Amino acid sequence: MEKIEKKRLESLRKAMAEHGIDCCIINSTDPHQSEIPPAHWRGREWLTGFKSENGTNGVAVVTKDKAYVWTDNRFFIQARQQLDGTGFEMMPMDGPEAVDLVEYVAEMMPKDSIVAVDGITFSSTEAENMRNAFEEADLNFTTDFPMFDFIWPERPSQPLNPLFVHDEEIVGETVDSKIGRILKEVEKEGADAILMSALDDIAWATNLRSAGDVAYSPVFPAYLYLDKKGNRIIFIKGEKLSDEVREFLNKYKIEVREYDEVTGFAGAIAPDTCVLIDPELTAVVIAEAIPTAIEGGKGVAKLKSVKNETMLSHWRTAMEKDGAALVRFFKWIDDEFPKGKLTEMSIARKLRECRLADPDCVDESFAAIVGWNGHGAIVHYEPTDETDVPVTGQGLLLIDSGGQYCQGTTDITRTIALGGEPTKEQKHDFTLVLKGMIALARATFPKGTRGAQLDILARQFLWNEGKAYYHGTGHGVGFFINCHEGPAQIRMNDIPAVLEPGMVMSDEPGLYIEDKYGIRCENMLAVEHWKTNEFGDFYRWRNLTLFPFDKTLIEWEIMTAEEKQWLSAYHQEVFDRLSPLLSPAEAAWLSQKL
Amino acid sequence: MEKIEKKRLESLRKAMAEHGIDCCIINSTDPHQSEIPPAHWRGREWLTGFKSENGTNGVAVVTKDKAYVWTDNRFFIQARQQLDGTGFEMMPMDGPEAVDLVEYVAEMMPKDSIVAVDGITFSSTEAENMRNAFEEADLNFTTDFPMFDFIWPERPSQPLNPLFVHDEEIVGETVDSKIGRILKEVEKEGADAILMSALDDIAWATNLRSAGDVAYSPVFPAYLYLDKKGNRIIFIKGEKLSDEVREFLNKYKIEVREYDEVTGFAGAIAPDTCVLIDPELTAVVIAEAIPTAIEGGKGVAKLKSVKNETMLSHWRTAMEKDGAALVRFFKWIDDEFPKGKLTEMSIARKLRECRLADPDCVDESFAAIVGWNGHGAIVHYEPTDETDVPVTGQGLLLIDSGGQYCQGTTDITRTIALGGEPTKEQKHDFTLVLKGMIALARATFPKGTRGAQLDILARQFLWNEGKAYYHGTGHGVGFFINCHEGPAQIRMNDIPAVLEPGMVMSDEPGLYIEDKYGIRCENMLAVEHWKTNEFGDFYRWRNLTLFPFDKTLIEWEIMTAEEKQWLSAYHQEVFDRLSPLLSPAEAAWLSQKL
């Protein structure tokens, strides 16, 4: 392993010398700024050997004699291990020792050096930042160095999985209607056209999906151009399109062009056509090719985040399927645990198997977190062959997972006790977290409320005892697209997006006792209109997720009558809606859990 | 009245013609951007006849043939009445018909017109906004038109009330220490000196006060210049300084210069001295005179907002004095109400009298709100001769008031029922508001929490029933300075300032039923350190205000055991601390109220 990595770094340095480049900065994402890029765009990983979760956590810098990878505190230990012997050194992007990559490069490089990136992998915003800083330091900056074209012979191809139509009976809105609404946003922002780069926005707008291009999300690499004259063009690898999908595109008058033609197309747009782009999501080389561009375009993400009643009614089905799969899964744990053979990895494999048994579930919606005792206290823990432990003895098992059903994406966390009576401390902490989850789920609030205003409802019982968790309480969830979706969030820092009817959010407070256990309770909730009166419009939450909470972990003495009532009604609904999908043995298991 | 006003407008137009000015914009504030300016700076009020509460609510625009006053929705009705016959027309600065003053002037005036202001009354930020907009519209903008020097013969002089020293035994910090801390902030912002304009910051920094210069706050017009070489200069009217105060200033090596010399002084600062100014608080003519200025300076307000333990212990005394005055006052209401002669105005007069009976109380801390039934539902209601009503029959009386004691500023709201058993609705609504006030007062929270995160605690019980109030829940309170103080606030919109131990905030949820009644419960609270553990530092509130809540308005069935316990402990503390200051009859009255 060691030798291979060093050879790769040497080949990059050779290519840099041939192109007269003194420093090159290698991003970890793809031309669409995807959180999880396809294999074709994992060149930084290939080069350095460091496997980070997503693009923002592994930017590399290479000069003639130095090589670094920047990452965040979740990956410090892992990065140091994986980079050992590769010639790369780890740099912290956060924490007390944080080093700013751009400032560091600006200071390190001698005047007149040439700093290069592959401009298709950096957003316009990022590249502008770099250009300004480097020009101030008298460095030359170029976005024209596609390094992996020169040094990665066995590079995987662009993903070529076939597209399929996301049934409009399920989506509840035609592509025409969506494009009409997008163009209204475009007009509002004073533009004539829009060039969309974000894969989830494009999948949403076209009612198309694919499986396998990108892990955990049924999106596919493409660009979408729409203008007010009626031009609708998708840029995509032709191999991905079946006759059925071509017909569907044809029906909506969406012209197909090759994926790689987008930059050339952008450069040829008439200068009197003002094109809206999102500078944080559009590659700098594309953004700069457009003769007349204006920045904005956040409105599309907002449209996507508001789900219609058809979607929500299908989401009910997805939740029933998911709940039934989880009954099979957690019953299996109960059956297997006494045998003493379970490990975190075997549990994660079984979980995936239970979900994917349903043909409507095309993938998990993210890498499942299965954390036993101390591992549960590591917030972003994902078991691997290296970290796997047997799940035996007494303790708490935290499982955060979800599925990509064509009827809706799911995301649920349950924490269960195994191996006998939980401790008083475990029960008390679990109950504080559960009370917080219930308080947020029961909240009602006026129009205009932001997530940060509601956030304390989920934290208050912990704070009252001087305990706390420091991650967000809730994120938006996509409809058979990305499990993490903007713009609204429920967290301590303020996000200006307000909560609107149809938005679907997670509700997931937790508590993490280092080396001991982690607790998290998570349901998904949809905002719905509640009432309108002299004080304004009021909203409330509609619960979506269906699976019981572990009652052996509840300290009943600190639950209020309202909380107990909420829980008992919830468990009754879980049973009523899941039992028709279960075998008698499964239903019997579930009824015991209520 | 009518003729006088029109004559004033005509005299202004004559002065404009003499100076070749086509349009003039008249601010309502003073050179220090004070919320409530002294009489000398109330020229806009003299000119238009419209009496608004503060500077931001009454900017006038005069051209050869037009005259307008901009104001906000709280004053629409009043402004239209008061402007009738003056030649001025009202313009809305907010609401659905809002008109932007600067845009309006930019569009209305022909190219090359001269637009003038008195640059001592507009901040650097405001003037820059105007200059940019007007230059874009090809207008000429000048800040050199002190209109009231030409047209206001009977203009009141600058306030000349004597200063006095705010006892450093009470303040707990010397001027040297404060100046040292200010200069550290100056250094942090990369400057060598600071020119301070905000009157509350200057009063705080110098441990000086005055009574009568400005209504409801013991501040005084002055500027303060400090630099790292040790120069300390106060610009102030010499007549205001007694020998004792001159000696005090001398002790701290603070040089005295005439108030009007500040602009000349600013212009003569050496260009290698970088002077920190707050552009939102510094008059444009001063800001522009300084050869080398940088903008910032919010750090001083932050220092001022954090009170030390000496202040907090004296604040206890102020609260006891205020509570005792309120016992006398509310007992008087109980005694007088049956006679049927009370009015809102007579109640407000008695309230002032009860507070000012204490020689340590130099003024009320704002114009008392005394609202009977429907008037209580008008959030910023202040009784006047025109609006006064008899306080008779059954109903709710809302009283929001405070005092300027040299041991601390007070701000308290109580709502009481008079004239027999309150209705079920009144009791229910009152209890929802009280529960919210208690929930915020009992909150604990980690370091780094902002007010907007806690705000929902005070609103939650109302929101649960589809009821709401739309004003802020809490503001910072100054220590024998302004009753409204930044930077931290507790409100729905996010203010980035975090809550820190020593900050004193109000906690004042309410509910307003139009034409029926208003309810508000308000105590003052101080942030204090609670505990530090593996989860971080946690803070809690220390209650300051001492006066019982009207128990006849409580619906006990919806109060939790914890809330009842909080209330009963609170009432016990009120009695224990106030009764030593009361006559036997007053103590007996108070004991009945618990």
Contact A197, A233 (CB under 8 A): no
Instruction: State the amino acid at position B332 in one-letter form.
Output: W
User: Does A452 sit within 8 Å of B452, measured CB to CB?
Assistant: yes
> For residue B1, what pLDDT is reported?
44
Instruction: For the sheet with B395-401, list strands across it.
Output: B369-372, B395-401, B412-418
Task: For residues A129 and A122, give the distance between their C-alpha atoms in angstroms, rounded to a whole number.
Answer: 11
Count how many pairs of residues, chain A against chain B, have C-beta atoms within 8 Å.
66
Tell me if A457 and B456 make a contact (CB, 8 A cut-off).
yes
Q: Is B197 helix (H, G, I), strand (E, B) or coil?
A: coil
Residue B466 to residue A534, Cβ atoms within 8 A? no
Supply the pLDDT for residue B381: 84
pLDDT at position B56 is 59
Chain B residue whose CA is closest to A529: B466
- In A, minimum Cα distance to B468 occurs at A535
Q: How far apart are CA B278 and CA B27, in angstroms?
A: 19
Distance CA B235, CA A357 (A): 81
Q: Determine the pLDDT at residue A85.
A: 82
CB B453 to CB A457 under 8 A? no
- The pLDDT of residue A386 is above 90: no
Q: How many CB atoms lie within 10 A of CB A507?
A: 26
ipTM of the complex: 0.91
Polymer length in residues for chain A:
594
Q: What would the pLDDT profile of A314-329 be if each residue is shown by its tens digit?
A: 999 999 999 999 999 9
- The single-letter DSSP state of residue B562 is H
Measured CB to CB, residues of chain A less than 8 Å from chain B are 443-446, 448-450, 452-457, 460, 463-464, 466-468, 492, 494, 514, 530-531, 533-536, 538
Taking the alpha carbons of B558, B563, B569, B571 in that order, is the dihedral positive or negative? negative
Residue A463 confidence (pLDDT) above 80: yes
Nearest to B466 among A443, A463, A538 (CB): A538
Cα(B221)–Cα(B201) distance, integer angstroms? 11
Q: Which of A61, A590, A12 is nearest to A330 (CA)?
A: A590
Q: Return the H-helix or E-strand segment holding A517.
A: strand A517-520
Which pairs count as long-range contacts for A252-256, CB under 8 Å and 24+ apart, including other chains? A252/A174, A252/A175, A252/A176, A252/A179, A252/A206, A254/A175, A254/A206, A255/A231
- CB pair distance less than 8 Å for A538 and B492: no
Q: Does the pLDDT value for residue A378 go beyond 90?
A: no
Write out the two tokens for A112.
């007149």
DSSP assignment of B462-521: HHTTT----S-SEEE--SSS-SSEEEEEESSS---PBP-TTBEEEE--EEEETTTEEEE-
The CA distance from B428 to the nearest CA of chain A, in Å, is 17
Judged on CB neighbours under 10 Å (0-12, 13-18, 19+), A568 is exposed
* Confidence check: pLDDT of A384 > 90: no
Residues in chain A with CB shorter than 8 Å from the CB of B530 are 466
Average confidence (pLDDT) over A331-343: 98
B86-111 b/e with 16+ CB inside 10 Å = b? bbbebbbbeeeeeeebbeebbeebee
Interface contact B463-A457, CB threshold 8 A = no
Sequence-ordered strand ranges (E) for B236-291? 255-257, 275-277
CB atoms within 10 A of CB B517: 27
Residue A352: how many other CB atoms lie within 10 Å: 18
Where is pLDDT greater, at B418 or A51?
B418
Neighbour tally for B169: CB within 10 Å: 8
Q: Which residues in chain B have their CB less than 8 angstroms from residue A455's CB?
A: 453
Q: Is the pLDDT of residue A1 over 60?
A: no
Q: Which residues of B touch A446 (CB under 8 A)?
A: 463, 468
Sign of CA dihedral B452, B456, B459, B464: positive
The length of chain B is 594
- Residue A443: its chain B contacts at CB < 8 A? 460, 463
This prediction's pTM = 0.92
Mutate one of B447, B453, B491, B540 to test the A interface: name it (highest A CB count within 10 A).
B453
Q: Look at A531 and B492 and tell me if their CB atoms are within 8 Å.
A: no
Measure the CA–CA gap between A371 and B209, rounded to whole angstroms: 62
pLDDT along chain B (594 residues), means of 10: 72 96 96 91 92 74 96 81 87 89 96 97 96 96 96 94 97 98 96 97 98 94 98 98 98 98 97 97 97 94 97 98 98 98 98 98 96 91 89 97 98 97 98 98 98 98 96 97 95 95 98 96 98 96 98 98 98 98 98 95
The residue among A456, A470, A531, A562 with the most chain B CBs within 10 A of its CB, best to mutate, is A456
Question: DSSP of B112-147, one letter per residue?
Answer: T-EEEEBTTSSBHHHHHHHHHHHHHTT-EEESB--T
A369 Cβ contact partners less than 8 Å away, ≥ 6 residues apart: A380, A381, A382, A398, A399, A400, A401, A413
pLDDT value at residue A35? 84
Q: Tell me whether residues B456 and A454 touch, CB distance under 8 A.
A: yes
Inter-chain residue contact B466 with A530, CB threshold 8 Å: yes
Locate tokens 């420093």: which residue?
A23
- Chain B residue at shortest CA distance from A452: B453
Hey, which bits of A236-338 come out as E strands? 255-257, 275-277, 293-295
Residue A129 pLDDT > 50, yes or no?
yes
Is A466 in contact with B514 (Cβ distance < 8 A)?
no
Mean pLDDT of A344-363: 98
Query: For residue B168, how many other CB atoms are within 10 A of its CB?
Result: 14
Bridge partners (DSSP) listed for residue A29 = none
Taking the CA of residue B538 and the nearest CA in chain A, the distance in Å comes to: 6
Which residues is A401 bridged to in the sheet? A412
Banded model confidence at residue A55, pLDDT cuts 50, 70, 90: low
Burial of A356: CB neighbours in 10 Å, binned 0-12, 13-18, 19+: middle
Mean pLDDT of the region A179-201? 97
Instruction: Assess contact for B296 and B195: CB atoms under 8 A.
Output: no
Expressed in angstroms, the distance from the first to the final Cα of chain B is 51
What letter does residue A206 receive in the DSSP assignment? H
- What whole-number distance in Å separates Cα of residue B455 and Cα of residue B436? 10
| Cross-chain residue pair A457–B452, CB shorter than 8 Å | no
